[in-house]
Amino acid sequence: MDRGTSLNSFPGVGTAKMKALARLGLVTVGDLLTYWPRAYEDRTRVYSISDAPEAEAVCVSALVAETPVTAYIRKGLSTTKCKIVDHTGNVQVTFFNQEYVRRALTVGETYIFYGVIERRGSRLTMTNPIFEREDKARFTGRIVPIYPLTAGVSNNLLAGMALRAVEECAGELPDRLPASLRVGHALCTMEFACRNAHFPKDQEALAVARRRLVFEELFTLSLGMSFLRARRAGAEGPAFPKKITEEFVGLLPFVPTAAQRRAMEELKKDLTSGRPMNRLVQGDVGSGKTVVAAYAAWLAHAGGYQTAMMAPTEILAHQHYETLNKLLSPAGIRVGLLTGSLSAKEKKALHAALAAGEVDLAVGTHALLSQGVEYANLGLVITDEQHRFGVGQRSALSSKAQATPHVLVMSATPIPRTLALLIYGDLDVTVIDELPPGRSPVETYLVGEDKRQRMYGFVRKQVEVGRQVYIICPAVEEGETADLKAVTAYAKELAEKVFPDLRLGLVHGRLKSRDKEAAMAAFAAGEIDVLVSTTVVEVGVDVPNASLMVIENADRFGLSQLHQLRGRVGRGEWQSTCVLVSSNRSPETRERLKYFCSTTDGFQIAEKDLELRGPGDFFGQRQHGLPAMRAADLAGDTRVLKQAQDAAAELLEADPGLAEPEHRGLMAAVKRLFAEDGDIFN
Ligand code: ADP
Ligand code: MG
């Protein structure tokens, strides 16, 4: 066996298992070697029954004293029970729905049981323990890895394969960190890291291994970000004319806030400088970022340049198109909309207009990036809610310009300070820290199922006084058929039984974009009272008349996502409300949701999210368009982050192109890390 060996050479791994494994990105032994555990179980100590601490998972060595007996409690529920003993006592063991245990456990044999021992009266019990025969134990006496799983792949399978893979091939992994750097930063070798990340000798060895892996990952990411930055730094950008800002303000139907003005002045400085701007405008939902984007496009137009503005969804692109067209066409700016749902003919016409310079501002989805879209004179690229776009997608759009265009990134996602450094490492930041006047913060309540009827009554009341309502159900995005059924069935019930007299609409990710947009447009036009939707309304959608947001199964959302959703209301003059519906009784969940009710500060919420759920959420969903991280746990690793960044800067100073033979492996790793994003290093 070597690094390239296919996983199907393991016993019990056939075509079906290979398919399941592939979903985890696992095809070869090498893939498995770098598939890091998400947690560990400490099975180093084996206790006797009377010595075992209660209420925490432990290993006990005990003999099966009686044949396990299965009882069928009701449909879909069986219990299989037996007694296990050692010389100090006995434990009643219960397995739920695991009838195979009857065959797997042999009376008179000794096994290691790993589980939680609980005291019930005078009896000791254990529920659903993991077990292995003592004389054939592979995992007892070890710290055992727990891997991220998928349907059809058990942790036992992965751990079993990893054990052999590590034993035979850990030394084959290439060590990409230059030796001097490794020694300088007191990092262990890749082989040590691999062995101890999977099967740590002890907690200390695990910490050493993790530090190395995290360092390497952040180091590689930092190198990539530095390449991006360096590529821009030397470039020349278009210099837009220094127009009087008041001229633009005259186009607005309201007075800009001080924060908006500040942002416009900062942009103006960049955009008129002749150096390519690369700036993030970060402002909470509803803070009025669109106006700032419009201002930048207005300046571009004054300089004779085109602007491309990318939105993450068609709905949003459409809405931006409407807003910007209304705002900017009086100033002679020709705005065009390019989305995937245009007909071939419409597309062609728009492409021609862009190439001929007959459209000044193109608003669209990623269709703006597609091949064959040419611009006469692209000077500014705006991406809204950039976390949905990859770093590389941003730069792909930039490469459509003759000179390096200015880049403006707008985001409503507050990023915890610890992450901002990394995520926006290649951007300057402007913060809009003020909401337009006359907004009162959205009031938020948490209710259980028992208040459902009252909640419906509240919905009705809002509609009666002329407002509109969102009802959000958890995600229907990719492939979640069960959820899709749930949301359509729920919408049907609302339409037929609860609100037969109200005008309801339904929007979810699986709808054709035409239908989605029609429903959104109808809602925006006030033709729909209640919009039942999945999170497709999450980003950016603006319907000021909507004053109530109901979020079903609120416990299924992260805090940051809830914050995004809540931002859809409270955008007009009306006092707005957000109702979280959840009957989840877990104390952590309730604490989380209660916390959400208590504040509307997006940055605080993001910090709390990070604290509660860890950065996996920020990286896991790839919501910032960064390459996926596999090892880095940034909440605990900000120190390593700083070290890795400094080391990357130092290395690039010595070898800016990573051209030396010793660094080629690193360069390849950087490219691979950003691989999904295509040719960003060209
Ligand atoms: P976001 O920052 O979430 O993108 P938008 O740009 O969509 O916010 O603005 C939210 C709403 O506030 C819009 O209806 C917009 O017209 C309005 N708005 C923006 N700036 C102001 C302002 N200075 N005064 C009053 N209303 C404003
Ligand atoms: Mg917006």
172 and 65 Cβ atoms separated by less than 8 Å: no
364 phi/psi in degrees, rounded to 5:
-175, -175
Query: What CA–CA distances, in Å, run from 517 to 382, 473, 509, 521, 546?
Result: 22, 18, 11, 6, 17
> What are the structure tokens assigned to 253, written together?
């139907």
Amino acid at 385: E
Which atom of ligand 1 has the smallest separation from the CA of 256?
23
Distance from chain centroid for Cα 87: 51
Atom 13 of ligand 1 has which residue's CA nearest to it?
Answer: 288
Instruction: Name the pTM for this structure.
Output: 0.64
| CB of 566 sitting under 6 A from ligand 1 | no
> What are the structure tokens assigned to 653, written together?
């100073």
407 and 391 Cβ atoms separated by less than 8 Å: no
> What are the structure tokens assigned to 524, written together?
């925006």
CA 290 – ligand 1 centroid, Å: 7
| CB of 544 sitting under 6 A from ligand 1 | yes
Within 8 A by CB and 6+ apart from 329, the residues are 335
Strand partners, 533: 472, 507
640 and 615 Cβ atoms separated by less than 8 Å: no
| CB of 561 sitting under 6 A from ligand 1 | no
Q: What is the number of the ligand closest to the CA of 287?
A: 1
One-letter-per-residue 3-state SS of 306-353 = EEEEECCCHHHHHHHHHHHHHHHHHHCCCEEEECCCCCHHHHHHHHHH
The predicted pLDDT at position 404 comes to 79
Helix (H), strand (E) counts: the chain: 23, 23
Gap between the Cα atoms of 587 and 574, Å rounded? 33
Which atom of ligand 1 has the smallest separation from the CA of 292?
6
Residues 479-496: b if buried by 16+ CB within 10 A, e if exposed: ebeebbebbbebbeebbe
Gap between the Cα atoms of 505 and 378, Å rounded? 38
627 phi/psi in degrees, rounded to 5:
-60, 150
Name the strand (E) or helix (H) holding 249: helix 245-249
Name the strand (E) or helix (H) holding 363: strand 361-364
Name the strand (E) or helix (H) holding 289: helix 289-302
> What are the structure tokens assigned to 272, written together?
């008129």
| CB of 254 sitting under 6 A from ligand 1 | yes
Half-sphere exposure of 638 (CA within 13 A, CB side): 11
Which atom of ligand 1 has the smallest separation from the CA of 290?
6
CA 231 – ligand 2 centroid, Å: 29
CA 411 – ligand 2 centroid, Å: 8
Neighbour count for residue 198 (Cβ, 10 Å): 29
Residue 421 buriedness (CB in 10 A; 0-12 / 13-18 / 19+)? middle
Instruction: Indicate the length of the chain as a whole number.
Output: 682
Residue 278 buriedness (CB in 10 A; 0-12 / 13-18 / 19+)? buried
Which atom of ligand 1 has the smallest separation from the CA of 287?
2
CA 288 – ligand 2 centroid, Å: 7
> What are the structure tokens assigned to 616, written together?
């996996």
Gap between the Cα atoms of 63 and 106, Å rounded? 9
Strand partners, 118: 125
> What are the structure tokens assigned to 503, written together?
């005008």
Q: What is the number of the ligand closest to the CA of 567?
A: 1
Q: Pairing relation of β-strands 406-411 and 278-283?
A: parallel
| CB of 412 sitting under 6 A from ligand 1 | yes
Residues 96-108: b if buried by 16+ CB within 10 A, e if exposed: eeeeebeeebeee
Gap between the Cα atoms of 430 and 432, Å rounded? 7
534 and 472 Cβ atoms separated by less than 8 Å: yes
- Full DSSP string of 108-176: T-EEEEEEEEEEETTEEEEES-EEEEGGG-SSTTSEEEE---BTTB-HHHHHHHHHHHHHHHGGGS---
Residue 440 buriedness (CB in 10 A; 0-12 / 13-18 / 19+)? exposed
CA 257 – ligand 1 centroid, Å: 10
Q: Which of 290, 541, 547 to mutate to test ligand 1, by most ligand atoms within 8 A of the CB atom?
A: 290
CA 436 – ligand 1 centroid, Å: 7
For the chain, residues with pLDDT lower than 50 are 476-479, 616-626, 677-682
The predicted pLDDT at position 622 comes to 38
Q: What is the pLDDT of residues 148-197, one digit of tens each?
A: 888 888 888 999 999 999 999 999 998 989 988 999 999 999 999 999 99
Which atom of ligand 1 has the smallest separation from the CA of 571?
11
The predicted pLDDT at position 481 comes to 56
| CB of 413 sitting under 6 A from ligand 1 | no
In angstroms and rounded to an integer, the radius of gyration of the C-alpha atoms of the chain is 29
Picking from 251, 252, 245, the residue whose alpha carbon sits closest to that of residue 266 is: 245
Atom 24 of ligand 1 has which residue's CA nearest to it?
Answer: 436
| CB of 571 sitting under 6 A from ligand 1 | yes
| CB of 542 sitting under 6 A from ligand 1 | yes
Which atom of ligand 1 has the smallest separation from the CA of 257?
23
| CB of 260 sitting under 6 A from ligand 1 | yes
CA 207 – ligand 2 centroid, Å: 42
Gap between the Cα atoms of 112 and 141, Å rounded? 10
The predicted pLDDT at position 39 comes to 82
Contacts of 212-217 with CB under 8 Å at 24 or more apart are 212/187, 212/188, 213/36, 213/631, 214/631, 214/632, 214/633, 214/637, 214/640, 215/177, 215/185, 215/187, 215/640, 215/643, 215/644, 215/647, 216/176, 216/177, 216/187, 216/631, 217/629, 217/630, 217/631, 217/632
Gap between the Cα atoms of 588 and 346, Å rounded? 52
| CB of 256 sitting under 6 A from ligand 1 | yes
The predicted pLDDT at position 424 comes to 65
The predicted pLDDT at position 484 comes to 60
CA 533 – ligand 1 centroid, Å: 23
Gap between the Cα atoms of 182 and 192, Å rounded? 13
Within 8 A by CB and 6+ apart from 539, the residues are 312, 313, 316, 384, 385, 388, 412, 564
Name the strand (E) or helix (H) holding 468: strand 468-472
Neighbour count for residue 60 (Cβ, 10 Å): 26
CA 66 – ligand 2 centroid, Å: 66
Name the strand (E) or helix (H) holding 492: helix 481-493
- Full DSSP string of 615-679: THHHHHTTTTSPPPPSS--TTT-HHHHHHHHHHHHHHHHH-TT--SGGGHHHHHHHHHHTGGG-S
580: helix, strand or coil = strand
Q: What is the number of the ligand closest to the CA of 291?
A: 1
